[in-house]
Amino acid sequence: DGGITQSPKYLFRKEGQNVTLSCEQNLNHDAMYWYRQDPGQGLRLIYYSQIVNDFQKGDIAEGYSVSREKKESFPLTVTSAQKNPTAFYLCASSMSNTEAFFGQGTRLTVV
Amino acid sequence: QKEVEQNSGPLSVPEGAIASLNCTYSDRGSQSFFWYRQYSGKSPELIMSIYSNGDKEDGRFTAQLNKASQYVSLLIRDSQPSDSATYLCAVNGNRDDKIIFGKGTRLHILP
């Protein structure tokens, strides 16, 4: 089955902890993206990657880090520097300059 | 800073009528334009992609693009209660493969 898989679906983080959200795709897409969505808001771009071993900051990269060691994988780490991490995190992938397809999302809550 | 603007709504439309959703974008070099539908608590799903000026029809949906006016719209004919959702406009700048989303328009179809 082709698609984008995010895990976990729900994640709870204690104050001061780093957590990593997984995103895997088997669509052979070149580009991958991470977005954050707050209640009643649109999608804000955190990081994106057009090719393996390269990635660029989006509009709200502070407090987040990513890696792109394999074409299929684009994990996002939410660091302790992110002061308000509670949100819905969406990973997407696309072929260059075409539409993006999304995973089912990870809902992160700080406890 | 590239921007994509949408009216947040809610837009209320009677069942069976035409719903019209609008979007403007700031980057004149943008080449690819997308409409997504997002139900509450779910990830966005692609409805339409449009790449050239004019209209593109797919079933009850028609996307319209006017690059000179930097304007893209989505028409939904014969609106159904199941069309009640948030509709997100997205734009790909082409040069950097960065997909930027508007904040979305909430559409409510009145039975």
pLDDT tens digits, residue range A56-108?
Answer: 999 999 999 999 999 999 999 999 888 899 999 999 999 988 999 999 999 99
SS3 of B53-111: the string is CEEEEECCEEEEEECCCCEEEEEECCCCHHHCEEEEEEEECCCCCCEEECCCEEEEEEC
Q: What percent of chain A has pLDDT over 90?
A: 82
What residues of B are in contact with residue A105 (Cβ under 8 Å)? 42-43
- The HSE-up count of residue B31 (CA atoms within 13 Å, CB side) is 9
Does the CB of A5 have a partner CB in chain B at under 8 Å?
no
* Cα–Cα distance measured from residue A110 to residue B98, given in angstroms and rounded to the nearest whole number: 29
The separation between the first and the last C-alpha atoms of chain A, rounded to the nearest angstrom, is: 35
Mean pLDDT of chain A: 94
Q: Which residue has the tokens 């997308």?
A: B34
Task: Using pLDDT thresholds of 50, 70 and 90, give the confidence band for residue B94.
Answer: low
Local structure of A98: helix, strand or coil: coil
A109 close to B (CB below 8 A): no
Please give the average per-residue pLDDT across B22-35, as a whole number: 93
The whole-number average pLDDT for the span B12-35 is 95
B50 confidence band (pLDDT: 50, 70, 90): very high
**Most distant CA pair in chain B, distance:** 44
Asked if B99 lies within 8 A of A104 by C-beta distance, the reply is: no
Provide the pLDDT confidence category of residue A1 given band limits of 50, 70 and 90: low
- Mean pLDDT, residues B80-91: 96
